């Protein structure tokens, strides 16, 4: 029996087949009903008892060798099978289409990076808010027009539950929870009840910033905004601050950047002024700090807020706000990113 086993083993090792038919013949000759290995199993009962253990092992090993050999021959055959015979491995692969990122995401991430280098962290909050966080805590007078249904979306006509009109609400939530120093930017969607046009939409995105600490001054705000504008638009950009009014900041200002299309000379985009308005800012009103239990004698702070759509419009010279929401492939496909 031993010699038979080694004879068959040798045969298996030498086996070569050139097609699947020959392979099947080989399988039948070894493992078929009357195959040589099958035969060994039926002869096994004649093996002397004291040899059964060892011979049994040999026969089993032989069977496994045969199975492995058949499998590997089959694999080789499949690779060299006819349908692959004209396979040219040197051909370049099919072109792979990269997606593009939405301009709002691109700008948002750029803004994150800029403010990250200044030590700001990101804070987020709910889109459905209450009156306190959107208006009252921020010093909006009872009769302020922003509280009107015309400007704000209320939920089921409940005067206290509404869609936030700015992400200043997140700043309030942070101030209520955290002790100064606070340095956060608050990105997110905001909602205003406006007719949709090329220049206005009822949904848009904001990033607002807040810094509260001891001795924070207006010059800190100005330097931060200058740094931000230069990082975003390049070193040549100029900024200017115009006095303005917001209920939650005092003094308040609006910031313009020199028009990046005409370089400040005046063109149709900047309506021949040479300047483009990009954000609102100011020193956090004492009442707001106190509303959030922050000692306004010890601490001061600045805040600023901007619309991401507006920044992206200037950066990429997009003329119509509605394009951001239409998901038109031709529009979106223009914004390639390295990621």
Among 183, 205, 208, 258, binds ligand PHE (CB under 6 A): 208
Q: How far is CA 284 from CA 28, 75, 93, 190, in A?
A: 88, 74, 58, 21
Among 305, 311, 312, 321, binds ligand PHE (CB under 6 A): 305
Q: Please tell me whether residue 35 binds ligand PHE under the rule CB under 6 A.
A: no
Q: Please tell me whether residue 303 binds ligand PHE under the rule CB under 6 A.
A: yes
Q: Please tell me whether residue 168 binds ligand PHE under the rule CB under 6 A.
A: yes
Cβ closest to ligand PHE, residue 190 vs residue 232: 190
Question: φ, ψ for residue 292 (rounded to 5)?
Answer: -105, 20
Which run of H or E residues covers position 161? strand 161-163
Among 35, 180, 188, 282, binds ligand PHE (CB under 6 A): 282
Question: φ, ψ for residue 110 (rounded to 5)?
Answer: -65, -40
Q: Please tell me whether residue 180 binds ligand PHE under the rule CB under 6 A.
A: no
Among 26, 66, 221, 281, binds ligand PHE (CB under 6 A): 281
CA 36 to chain centre: 63
Residue 174 carries which DSSP code? H
Beta bridge partners of 44: none
Among 115, 275, 304, 324, binds ligand PHE (CB under 6 A): 304
* Contact positions with ligand PHE (CB under 6 A) in 247-266: 249
Q: Please tell me whether residue 224 binds ligand PHE under the rule CB under 6 A.
A: no
**Distance, CA of 115 to CA of 103 (rounded, Å):** 18
Cβ closest to ligand PHE, residue 146 vs residue 262: 146
Q: Please tell me whether residue 188 binds ligand PHE under the rule CB under 6 A.
A: no
Q: Name the token pair of 248.
A: 């939650």
Neighbours of 19 (CB within 10 A): 12
Cβ closest to ligand PHE, residue 247 vs residue 266: 247
Q: Please tell me whether residue 129 binds ligand PHE under the rule CB under 6 A.
A: no
Which run of H or E residues covers position 1? none
């Amino acid at each position: 029996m031993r010699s038979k086993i080694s004879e068959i083993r040798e045969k298996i090792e030498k086996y070569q087949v050139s097609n699947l038919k020959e392979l099947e013949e080989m399988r039948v000759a070894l493992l078929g009903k009357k195959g040589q290995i099958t035969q060994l199993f039926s002869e096994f009962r004649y093996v002397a008892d004291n040899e059964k253990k060892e011979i049994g092992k040999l026969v089993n090993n032989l069977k496994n060798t045969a199975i492995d050999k058949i499998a590997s021959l089959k694999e080789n055959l499949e690779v060299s099978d006819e349908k692959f015979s004209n396979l040219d491995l040197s051909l370049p692969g099919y072109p792979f289409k990269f997606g593009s990122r939405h301009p709002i995401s691109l700008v948002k991430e750029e803004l994150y990076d800029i403010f990250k280098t200044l030590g700001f962290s990101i804070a987020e909050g709910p889109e459905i808010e209450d009156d306190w966080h959107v208006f009252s805590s921020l010093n909006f007078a009872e009769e302020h027009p922003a509280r009107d249904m015309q400007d704000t979306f209320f939920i089921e006509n409940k005067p206290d539950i509404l869609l936030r009109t700015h992400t200043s609400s997140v700043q309030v939530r942070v101030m209520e929870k955290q002790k100064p120093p606070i340095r956060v930017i608050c990105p997110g969607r905001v909602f205003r009840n406006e007719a949709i046009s090329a220049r206005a939409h009822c949904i848009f995105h904001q990033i607002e910033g807040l810094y509260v600490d001891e001795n924070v001054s207006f010059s800190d705000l100005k330097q931060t905004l200058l740094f931000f504008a230069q990082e975003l638009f390049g070193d040549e950009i100029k900024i200017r601050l115009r006095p303005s009014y917001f209920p939650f900041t005092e003094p308040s200002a609006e910031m313009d950047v020199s028009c990046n299309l005409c370089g400040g000379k005046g063109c149709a985009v900047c309506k021949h002024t040479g300047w483009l308005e990009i954000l609102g800012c100011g020193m956090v009103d004492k009442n707001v700090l106190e509303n959030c239990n922050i000692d306004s004698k010890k601490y001061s702070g600045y805040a600023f807020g901007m619309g991401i759509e507006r920044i992206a419009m200037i950066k990429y010279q997009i003329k119509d706000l509605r394009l951001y929401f239409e998901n038109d492939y031709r529009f979106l496909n223009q914004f390639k990113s390295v990621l």
